[in-house]
Amino acid sequence: MKAQCNTDKCIYCGACVGVCPVGALTLDETRIVIDKKKCIGCGACAKICPAGAMTVKEGE
């Protein structure tokens, strides 16, 4: 399970970056960068995302 960000929906609020327990998310100037090696698929980012942009899916 890995996080995925839908960049069409993301409003770059940064909320997901703050809740990730393993620091897998960083806010770039133009997008959310997900370090898939760090992500443990906990779903915290998807839960807090106000725009429904973050999803956690099976696989890569």
Binding site for ligand SF4 (CB under 6 A): 3, 5, 10-16, 19-20, 22, 24-25, 32, 34, 39-45, 48-49, 51, 53-54, 56
Structure tokens at 57: 């899916």
CA 48 to CA 37: how far, in whole Å?
A: 21
Shortest reach from residue 26's CB to ligand SF4, in Å: 10
Shortest reach from residue 31's CB to ligand SF4, in Å: 9
Q: Which residues pair with 54 in a beta bridge?
A: 5
Shortest reach from residue 49's CB to ligand SF4, in Å: 3
CA 10 to CA 31: how far, in whole Å?
A: 8
